[in-house]
């Protein structure tokens, strides 16, 4: 006997997969020793800090390029400042 069930929409499949993966990751996270979790946190913070620093530097350089080309650099400088503040806040939160 062959029963044809209606197929789920793609968004439901993706949501179910994301929730399942999140559950597995949480179980693995809680089974890790405290030192391993701390090292993973520090590694992730370090990578995020380097990435934000590089993005802020790149936006600052692009702002200088816009300024020299006669374009308005305010958006680039604003983004560089915002990225720098996020980077600094991340560093402050890591020290606490």
Has residue 73 been placed in a domain? yes
Has residue 76 been placed in a domain? yes
pLDDT of residue 21: 96
End-to-end CA distance of the chain: 63
Res 34 pLDDT > 80: yes
Domains of the chain: total: 1
Res 49 pLDDT > 70: yes
- Local confidence band at 1 (pLDDT 50, 70, 90 cut-offs): low
17-39 average pLDDT score: 95
Q: pTM score, two decimals?
A: 0.70
Has residue 55 been placed in a domain? yes
Yes or no: say if 64 and 73 are a contact pair by the CB < 8 Å rule.
yes
């Amino acid at each position: 006997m062959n029963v044809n069930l209606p197929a789920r929409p793609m968004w439901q499949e993706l949501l179910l997969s994301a929730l399942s993966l999140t559950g597995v990751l949480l179980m693995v996270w809680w089974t890790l020793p405290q030192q391993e979790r701390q090292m993973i946190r520090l590694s992730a913070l370090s990578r995020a800090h380097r990435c934000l620093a590089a993005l802020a530097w790149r936006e600052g350089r692009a702002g200088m390029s816009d300024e020299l080309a006669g374009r308005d650099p305010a958006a680039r400088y604003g983004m560089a400042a915002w990225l720098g503040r996020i980077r600094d806040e991340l560093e402050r939160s890591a020290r606490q």
